Amino acid sequence: MSRQDAERAHPTGTASAPRRGWSEAWPYWAVVVAWMLVISLLSTEPFSATNTHRYIDPVLRYVFPTITRGELLFAHTVIRKTAHFVEFFILGCLTYWACRRGRAPRWRAAWMLQALGLAIAYSVADEVHQAFVPNRTFALTDSGVDSLGAAASQVLIYLRHGVLARLALQR
């Protein structure tokens, strides 16, 4: 609805902000759902720890030729947990973006809570899914790492908006 249409539709002749409907929101949420599908794909058997060592370990051995078995196991674990963190950091950012969906760039606690809630719920659902996948296990520690990634994204978004607000006041 254009501004002129809104002015004509409102009885006092003043423009009221039109509500953003699903037709404007779905492209934002489609990106979130697509990322959730990527996370689900990464939760399948080919990406289990027993399989990822086949391509992570050779890279680590190439970069660190004197790496010991214990160091290799530690590095593999760090890489996998970092992947969990980053996956859900991205999900948290995308979900906040979808909640904001083109509105003025400012921070809203409601958008943050929605993004965080969805990411945490999806991290638990992802772990439940993994319980039924061969060579995968249900691990609340993974859900915790996922949730930390989502929370870190929200902290970064909050800080970014705070910095932008201060810069706008200085102008």
d(CA 118, CA 128) in angstroms, rounded, equals: 15
d(CA 66, CA 43) in angstroms, rounded, equals: 31
* Per-residue pLDDT, 116: 96
User: Where are the chain's structural domains?
Assistant: 26-170
Q: Does the global pTM surpass 0.85?
A: no
pLDDT band at 148 (very low <50, low <70, confident <90, very high): very high
* Per-residue pLDDT, 14: 41
* Per-chain mean pLDDT for the chain: 85
- Residue whose C-alpha is closest to residue 19's, from 93, 96, 101, 97: 101
pLDDT tens for each residue of 60-113: 999 999 999 999 999 999 999 999 999 999 999 999 999 988 777 778 899 999
* Residue 15 DSSP symbol: -
